[in-house]
A = this chain, B = another copy of it.
């Protein structure tokens, strides 16, 4: 772990599977400038990560004492270099100890987190990039314990206690939605251009809470269309409610506890917010600013 006696200008990078985002922060943590590029790790040939990084952020790295932290899939086996997962429970101290320095005291990869299920099977779970958003959102919310949800292709439900992630679970909700709406038989009857329909969405949430499996409930997308109880334009909203509702179904969040923190795009956090409130669970939302706040907090703690 490298420590810096004084904060230095931070180049904060979120290098994911499909996109590369960066922000230049001043010594107070304020974003001076940000960039977003369609250069996710899937577009970068092996051995070319440093070149792509220099091409897009080399100018920022000229600043005196500039320090760069990179989170996300750039630290995976398919990325710049593999930064081994940091096991939970983990907070800033553990992340800082597991930073993988690509250039000493200049550029580091932030490791992802791993945990194992609480049951006897000890099934592993992993995240890369979300850990930074989690700590950033907590900083912004002024909390050190919370249940957080990061909706997306692979949604994460996260427990943080006194500044450390203790447990989390991944849900393939977004990917299953994409597969079912684009590649399954359901895709033949739904109109993906339909505007979001709140009533159909909540009908999906309600359906997901009834007895039986989501493998059964999914078929309702077909039959409700067949019997003309929902239009082709309403069916994507129903499907979305069904899957988000399934994700929420067995979460043990007390309705009277502190609000769940949602981190993600407006479109997704609005849907999760609707579903959570429909089920009587309070929540508040944070956007992409959580990433920059998290990387800044991490570098400040190092």
Contact = CB atoms under 8 A, between A and B. Distances in A.
* Copies in the assembly, this chain: 2
A211 B119 contact: yes
A51 to B, nearest CB: 25
A257 interface: no
A247 B215 contact: yes
A210 B125 CA distance: 15
A171 B210 contact: no
Contacts of A103: none
Contacts of A247: 213, 215
A175 interface: yes
Interface string A176-187: 100110011100
The range of chain A's interface size is 35 or more
Interface string A192-236: 000000000001001100111111101110011011010000000
A106 interface: no
A18 B270 CA distance: 41
Interface of A: 117, 119, 121, 123-126, 154, 169-173, 175-176, 179-180, 183-185, 203, 206-207, 210-216, 218-220, 223-224, 226-227, 229, 243, 246-247, 249-250
